[in-house]
Amino acid sequence: DQADVVRLSKLRELLETHGFQFKKQLGQNFLVDAHVLHRIIDAADIAPNDGVFEIGPGAGVVTQALARKAKRVLAVEKDRSLAPVLGSSLREADNIDIRYADVLELDLPVIWQEFRDCDRVSVVANLPYYVTTPILFHLLESGVPIHHVVVMVQREVAQRLVARPGTKDYGALTVAVHYYAQVELIQRVSSGAFVPPPNVESEVVRLRIRSEPPVDVSNPALFFRVVRSAFSMRRKTLLNNLTHSFQIAKPDCETLLKAIGIDPVRRGETLDLTEFADITRALSHTLR
């Protein structure tokens, strides 16, 4: 709505008033495009009794829009020098709590207790690109109940998240994220939507968190080791990567793969989730 556009245009003024300096090393590219803001808010699909966890509120533009939809917003910002800016931009909202901390150092199950009185909790973030992957895994591996994760990432990462087996973008990140979530591309975003403009293109993606993993692996830690191993040296065969990582004799590994119908000379990048799960189960018997 109009109100957002007006506020967005006042962003520079707000930052200047507080003498704020952008820190490139913290991935500070603030959103100034009202259309993109609305796409993010729509994709988050927030109901009045929902909670939202926001990572990196910056000057609070997304935070404010989230707070109008949600029961409560808890935002974590690493840069303490944004405190006066956020204090001013969010002064009218009474359902926002800002923590100044590094999200990677937060104990998410403890944080999630703040959402006890909420129906569902979604995560929304225009992510600092230098820590995209660690943040995604911090969220996904924490085990906290998350409804949606709606994040702005650099387009190259978005492409990796939705890549199909056998393509160059398909990798350990693709497989690991698909274990936890279904990924949808929401909106391409050009660098002009940010101040200062980043030197990469961006994309809003939505992760719908699965209630159950899509494949049956009794040992998830082993599954992730298999995935990392299969992609560890992309030009090598599955057989070579697995024998190297798991210290098994080549003939044994060959027999194991053939027994589950997987050609040992295939490359990791051609395997789908089900095949990674099959290998994990076979290996867990061998390694026992």
Short-list 253, 268, 88, 57, CA closest to 172? 268
**Closer to ligand SAM at the Cβ: 38 or 267?**
38
CB of 61 to ligand SAM, least distance (A): 5
**Closer to ligand SAM at the Cβ: 79 or 203?**
79
* Residues that bind ligand SAM in the complex, under the rule CB under 6 A: 26-31, 55-58, 61-62, 76-79, 102-104, 126, 128, 131
**Closer to ligand SAM at the Cβ: 129 or 246?**
129
Strand partners, 99: 76
| 3-state secondary structure at position 235 | coil
CB of 101 to ligand SAM, least distance (A): 7
Q: Which residues are annotated as a binding site for S-adenosyl-L-methionine?
A: 29, 31, 56, 77, 102, 126
CB of 141 to ligand SAM, least distance (A): 16
Short-list 148, 151, 92, 144, CA closest to 116? 144
Residue where the block lists tokens 């909420």: 118
Distances in whole angstroms, Cα of residue 177 to Cα of each of 23, 32, 40, 102, 184: 29, 29, 20, 22, 12
Q: Which residues are annotated as a binding site?
A: 29, 31, 56, 77, 102, 126
Amino acid at 22: F
**Closer to ligand SAM at the Cβ: 76 or 139?**
76
Q: How far apart are the first and last CA of the chain?
A: 60
Short-list 74, 73, 62, 68, CA closest to 151? 62
CB of 31 to ligand SAM, least distance (A): 4
Distance CA 61, CA 42 (A): 15
Residue with nearest beta carbon to ligand SAM: 56
| 3-state secondary structure at position 9 | helix
**Closer to ligand SAM at the Cβ: 30 or 179?**
30
CB of 58 to ligand SAM, least distance (A): 2
Instruction: Return the structure tokens found at 286.
Output: 């061998």
